[in-house]
Every structure is written in C-alpha cells, then in structure tokens.
C-alpha cells in the first residue's frame, strides 16, 4: 500500500483509491505514486479494467496541490514545465487496460483532467465539475484545453475554462462529459458494474478500441475507416476473435485470454 494511493482487486477489476485528505489534491508525489500503481496494474494480465475513485466524502479530486505552484513557477522560469498530469494521462492513453472514473463531490482542475483521461466517467448526483484555474490567473495545464473540447465541444469548454464556473452532474451528463449519473450510494457499484462487464470482453479487442479512439479522433473519415478496418482484421485474426466466433456458434460463453 502506498502513502496516497491504494488498490484492491474485485475479480478482474482493480479499484484504485486516491486518499490525500482533505480533498485528494494531486501533489507531485501522489501523481508519481498513482502512475506507478497504474503501471503495475496495467502489466498484470489478470486485471482487465481499473476503477478510479477518491477517498472521503468531499471529493473525487478537487484539483492540483496549489501549494506546489510557487516551485513550479521557479521551474518554469528555469526552462522546465509542469506536465505531471499530462504525463500520467499519456501513460493511461497507452495502457492496454480501460479506466472507469467514479466521481463524487468536487472534481475540479487536475481532478477533472484526470477523469477525462478515463474511458468512461460515472458521476454521483452530488458531483461538481469544473476547470477553475482561470480564477488563479492560470489556464488548465493537464489537458483541460485539449481533452475537454473533444468531449463537450469548443464553446462549452471555453465557457468552463474562461469563467472557472462549476457545473453539476446532470449538466455534465447533458454535455456528454460523464456517461452516467447515479445516487451517491450507488456510485461505486455502478462503476464496478461497468468495469466488470468490460472485463468479461476480449482484452485484445478492448485494447484495439482504445487505440482507435486515441489515434483516429482527429483524422479524416476515410483514414479513420481505413484504420478501423485494419483493427477489425487484427481482432478477427486474434485468438480472442477465433474463440468469440467459436463460442457464439457453439452457444457457450467465450473464454478470452487477451491474445
């Protein structure tokens, strides 16, 4: 168990809990620990889906650790850059394992950027989401100017980024920022249910889907369709593809291995 991050297995699903009271702020040590934990889980063939949650009642993650910003400013003046969340997001993008975010309470700044790195987001009805960096004279630095408009559209992203205002869970659902909204006491069970369903599918096919989602979203339709056809061929030629077709014809449940 780490200082800020812990994980537990629920069958083929890993539940990763961020625990940094009082609001689970993303400090540099926490980000390093979270990246290491996710890397270990992604390398485990027995883990087929990962759920991210925040500990406590107040927040999924309420943002970056602002107390570290003065040192980041000094690093920037010396030619460095503050890319901790971007680095973590890139690692999550490259993972074979899908991610489901279970969002409650505050999901702000770096917390929303972390949630946007996940494939699917489930929010409780008490969730508040936003990018408040503008209130500090800053802009989002962990993907908020790039991932957010790809999810909700440019105008809505600019509204959040330029005002720093929060939106509630129902608005986030209407804007397609989250995929489900549920009562607070159903949040983890709902996220786990989605993760368990994904874990039953072919890991090989899930990885191909994640690859296509990441690499084709800004391509012309013709090129995207070409890559989709190539991905379909790779799945069809895989052991999982052969098993899935055989299981369907034999009227039995498939036994996927990820190969």
Residues 6+ apart with CB under 8 A from 47: 9, 12, 13, 14, 41, 97
Give catalytic status of residue 68 as yes or no.
no
The Cα 141–Cα 109 span in angstroms is 9
The Cα 89–Cα 105 span in angstroms is 22
Select which of 37, 39, 133, 237 is catalytic.
Answer: 133
Select which of 33, 37, 53, 113 is catalytic.
Answer: 113
Helix axis angle, 28-42 to 84-94, nearest 10°: 10
Give catalytic status of residue 133 as yes or no.
yes
Q: 10 Å Cβ neighbour count for 98?
A: 23
Residues 6+ apart with CB under 8 A from 250: none
Distances (CA, A) of 169 to 118, 172, 250: 17, 5, 43
Q: Are 12 and 47 in contact (CB under 8 A)?
A: yes
Catalytic residues: 113, 133
């Amino acid at each position: 168990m780490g200082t800020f991050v812990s994980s537990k297995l629920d069958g083929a699903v890993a539940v990763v809990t961020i625990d940094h009271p009082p609001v689970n702020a993303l400090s540099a040590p926490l980000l390093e620990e979270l990246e290491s934990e996710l890397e270990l889980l992604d390398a485990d063939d027995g883990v087929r889906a990962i759920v991210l949650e925040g500990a406590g009642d107040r927040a999924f993650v309420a943002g970056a650790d602002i107390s570290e910003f003065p040192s980041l400013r000094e690093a920037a003046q010396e030619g460095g850059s503050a890319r901790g969340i971007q680095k973590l997001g890139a690692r999550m993008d490259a993972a074979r394992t899908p991610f489901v975010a279970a969002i409650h309470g505050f999901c702000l700044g770096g917390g929303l950027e972390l949630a946007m790195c996940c494939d699917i987001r489930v929010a409780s009805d008490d969730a508040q989401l936003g990018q408040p960096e503008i209130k500090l004279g800053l802009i989002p630095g962990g993907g908020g100017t790039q991932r957010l408009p790809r999810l909700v559209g440019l105008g809505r992203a600019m509204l959040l980024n330029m005002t720093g205002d929060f939106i509630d869970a129902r608005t986030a659902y209407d804007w397609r920022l989250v995929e489900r909204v549920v009562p607070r006491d159903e949040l983890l069970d709902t996220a786990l249910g989605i993760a368990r369903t994904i874990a039953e599918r072919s890991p090989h096919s899930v990885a191909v889907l994640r690859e296509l989602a990441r690499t084709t979203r800004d391509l012309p339709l013709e090129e995207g369709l070409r890559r989709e056809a190539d991905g379909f061929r790779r799945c069809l030629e895989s052991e999982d593809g052969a098993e899935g077709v055989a299981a369907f014809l034999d009227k039995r449940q498939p036994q996927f291995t990820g190969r």
